[in-house]
C-alpha cells in the first residue's frame, strides 16, 4: 500500500495519531526489535490518549467556566474554620455516584466559587459533563 493511500485511509478513519506517528514508531520498532503487536499497541495507545484528551478539553470548554480553578490553588489559610478533610473528600467525586448534591454555604469572599469551579473541573477531568452557571443565569433562563 502506498503511503499516500495509507494516509488517505487513516484520515478517512479519523486516525490522526496513526497518520502522524506511524513512520516514527515503525522505525523505532525496527531499531528496538519490537513485535508487530507492540508497534500496533503503541499506535492505538497514542490514539486513545489523544482522543481522551480532546474529549476532556471539549468538556472543559462546554462547562463555560469563568476561570479554571483547581484545589491546589485554593488558599487554605482563609477562611480559618473550613473543614479541609471534608472538602478534599468531595474531590473523590463519590457524591456523583450517589446522585447527591454539594452546596457550599458562607459569606462573600470565602472561596465558595473557587471550590465549586475546582470541583466541577475535577469532574470534567474524570469524564463527567459539567455546566457552570450562576443562580441569576438560571432564573433568567427559566423566565
9-36 residue pLDDT tens: 999 999 999 999 999 999 999 999 999 9
Which domains are delineated in the chain?
3-62 (no CATH), 71-142 (3.40.50.300)
CA atoms within 13 A on the CB side of 11: 6
Write down the pTM of the prediction.
0.81
Cβ–Cβ under 8 Å, residues 21 and 41: no
Please report the sign of the dihedral spanned by the C-alpha atoms of residue 109, residue 114, residue 115, residue 117.
positive
Q: What is the mean pLDDT of residues 34-46?
A: 96
pLDDT at 134: 85
Distance in angstroms (rounded) separating the CA atoms of residues 112 and 90: 13
Distance in angstroms (rounded) separating the CA atoms of residues 102 and 99: 10
Task: Give the C-alpha distances (Å, rounded to integers) separating 56 from 16, 52, 53, 62, 136.
Answer: 17, 6, 5, 10, 27
pLDDT at 90: 97
Please, where are the H alpha helices in 1-134?
Answer: 3-12, 16-31, 36-63, 84-90, 94-97, 112-125
Task: Give the C-alpha distances (Å, rounded to integers) separating 123 from 42, 90, 94, 115.
Answer: 28, 10, 10, 12
pLDDT at 109: 87
Distance in angstroms (rounded) separating the CA atoms of residues 18 and 15: 5
Q: How confident is the model at residue 1 (pLDDT cuts 50, 70, 90)?
A: low
pLDDT at 106: 87
Q: Give per-residue pLDDT as tens, 79-126.
A: 888 899 999 999 999 999 999 999 998 888 899 999 999 999 999 999
Q: Which three cell numbers stand for residue 111?
A: 472561596
Q: What is the mean pLDDT of residues 55-67?
A: 97
Amino acid at each position: 500500500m502506498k503511503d499516500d493511500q495509507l494516509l488517505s485511509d487513516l484520515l478517512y478513519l479519523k486516525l490522526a495519531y496513526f497518520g502522524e506517528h506511524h513512520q516514527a514508531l515503525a522505525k523505532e520498532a525496527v531499531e528496538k526489535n519490537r513485535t508487530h503487536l507492540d508497534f500496533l499497541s503503541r499506535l492505538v495507545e497514542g490514539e486513545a490518549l489523544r482522543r481522551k484528551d480532546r474529549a476532556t478539553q471539549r468538556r472543559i470548554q462546554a462547562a463555560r467556566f469563568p476561570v479554571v480553578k483547581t484545589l491546589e490553588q485554593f488558599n487554605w489559610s482563609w477562611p480559618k474554620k473550613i473543614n479541609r478533610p471534608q472538602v478534599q473528600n468531595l474531590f473523590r467525586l463519590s457524591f456523583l455516584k450517589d446522585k447527591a448534591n454539594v452546596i457550599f454555604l458562607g459569606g462573600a469572599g470565602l472561596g465558595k466559587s473557587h471550590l465549586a469551579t475546582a470541583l466541577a473541573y475535577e469532574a470534567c477531568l474524570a469524564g463527567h459533563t459539567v455546566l457552570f452557571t450562576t443562580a441569576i443565569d438560571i432564573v433568567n433562563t427559566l423566565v
